[in-house]
Amino acid sequence: MSASNPVPLKVGLVGGSSGFISKAHQHAIFMDGTRRVVAGALSSDPVKAKRSASEWPYPIKGYDSYDAMLQDELAKPKVERLDYVLILTPNHAHFDPAKRFLEAGIPVFCEKPLTLTVEESVELRERVESRAIPFCVAHTYLGHWTTRLARFIVRSGLLGKVRWVDASYIQSWMAIRSRDPKFKDTVWRIDPSKSGLSNCGGDIGTHALMQMRYITGLEVEALSAHLESLVPLGGPEEDQLDDHFTVYCRLNTGARALVRASQIAIGHKNDLRIEVNGERGSLRWAQEESEVLVVNLIDQPERVYVRGGVRANDGFFSDLPEELMSETVIPWGHSEGFHDAFARLHRCFEDDVRAYQAGAYNGSDGSQYATVRDGEIGMRFVEKAVESNRNGNAWTAL
């Protein structure tokens, strides 16, 4: 946890003039009083970038490009520079600002999917590792307290050896976008030059994969994938990026997993969920009911764990980790959700940034947030899924 009354960290934004995710990050940055946005190159349009900064709810320094923001930082003494940069641009505009701010020694918090190509993500990972500098990929849902509890339960062995994982992220926006004006700005997601090799897989399949890897600790060794475009956009189907992404996986312990995502399922909003089945029991978690975790063990009544209501010794657990139990949470009975999950990621990242500044940062083990390596694995997963699909759904090693 952060020291009491520290000087707030100075955060600079790249992107953020639009997009609901920008607002979510702002809440999360502000939540503890120990971080604040001080600067931003908020749009690719220089005029809009400056205007958006001038309309920010409190004074921040606006730049017409992230290059101008970087040059300004480089001209300052190190202690006065931004403490970290948050990248909120579409996928094709993650790599260049991330690389350049890292090069300047400034830690980076970057939206997912990490980059446009695997090669770019490898380059970022190598830079992060060679400089030993904090880097977070914004896999939001790792920040839910119940995701952390699920990770502890599965890794404690309570469910026995994992046999099967079903991780899915189901939305409807592709099916309803022509009718709903709020989806008109999402057009870059279906443009391969801005989105990457996959729309649905990169955008939300990577979240489902990350949830599976984070909770179970298991890795995908090989996959067989179907990428489909079920909502016609006009042109030839083969030119269209996927809106329906289904990947059957062999994991490194011999367990199996289904990692799937869809944007065509009317009625589903932000339906990320996971079920882990082991030899002795199973666990279920869903983002839309994120305060609850359900555990079933053979011959035992179903247990529904509610955030805040979990005791260190409830008959199942004798030793919940201190860091989990002492996590900053709102008292039970008061809803926690998306913003709190994001805040938990920024809070953990803050700890690493402060350690880095004190010369005491030894790298992230991935237990608090998704690392640049996780981002690279997500990119590789999507690339191999595209390859498998192209080769008639052939089993493809990762």
Ligand X SMILES: NC(=O)c1ccc[n+]([C@@H]2O[C@H](COP(=O)([O-])OP(=O)(O)OC[C@H]3O[C@@H](n4cnc5c(N)ncnc54)[C@H](O)[C@@H]3O)[C@@H](O)[C@H]2O)c1
Q: What is the per-residue burial (b if ≥16 Cβ within 10 Å, else e) of 113-133?
A: bbbbbbebbebbbebbeeeeb
* Cβ atoms < 10 Å from Cβ of 51: 14
* Cβ atoms < 10 Å from Cβ of 362: 9
Establish if 41 lies at the interface with ligand X (CB under 6 A).
yes
Of 3-11, 82-90, 318-326, 362-370, which segment contacts ligand X by CB under 6 A?
A: 82-90
- CB closer to ligand X out of 16 and 62: 16
Region 20-39 residues binding ligand X, contact defined as CB under 6 A? 21
- CB closer to ligand X out of 133 and 138: 138
Establish if 91 lies at the interface with ligand X (CB under 6 A).
yes
- Report in angstroms how near the CB of residue 3 gets to ligand X at its nearest: 28
Cα separation, 281 vs 140, in Å, equals 27
**Using the rule CB under 6 A, which residue among 39, 88, 247, 251 binds ligand X?**
88
Establish if 140 lies at the interface with ligand X (CB under 6 A).
yes
- Report in angstroms how near the CB of residue 134 gets to ligand X at its nearest: 18
For ligand X (CB under 6 A), the number of binding residues is 23
* Cβ atoms < 10 Å from Cβ of 250: 17
Q: Token pair 């062995």 is at which residue?
A: 157
**Using the rule CB under 6 A, which residue among 35, 81, 112, 125 binds ligand X?**
112
* Cβ atoms < 10 Å from Cβ of 345: 23
- CB closer to ligand X out of 113 and 281: 113
- Report in angstroms how near the CB of residue 393 gets to ligand X at its nearest: 26
Helix, coil or strand: residue 59: coil
User: Both tokens of residue 380?
Assistant: 């590789």
Angle at 99 between CA 95 and CA 102, to 5 degrees: 140
Establish if 17 lies at the interface with ligand X (CB under 6 A).
yes
Backbone phi, psi, residue 27, to 5°: -60, -45
Region 201-230 residues binding ligand X, contact defined as CB under 6 A? 203
Q: Is the peptide bond before 90 cis (omega within 30 degrees of 0)?
A: no
Identify residue 387 by its one-letter amino acid code: E
- Report in angstroms how near the CB of residue 42 gets to ligand X at its nearest: 6
Of 88-96, 235-243, 250-258, 322-330, which segment contacts ligand X by CB under 6 A?
A: 88-96
Closest residue to bound ligand X by CB: 19
Cα separation, 29 vs 6, in Å, equals 14
**Using the rule CB under 6 A, which residue among 8, 10, 19, 99 binds ligand X?**
19
Residues near ligand X (CB under 6 A) are 14-19, 21, 41, 43-44, 66, 88-91, 93, 111-112, 138, 140, 185, 188, 203
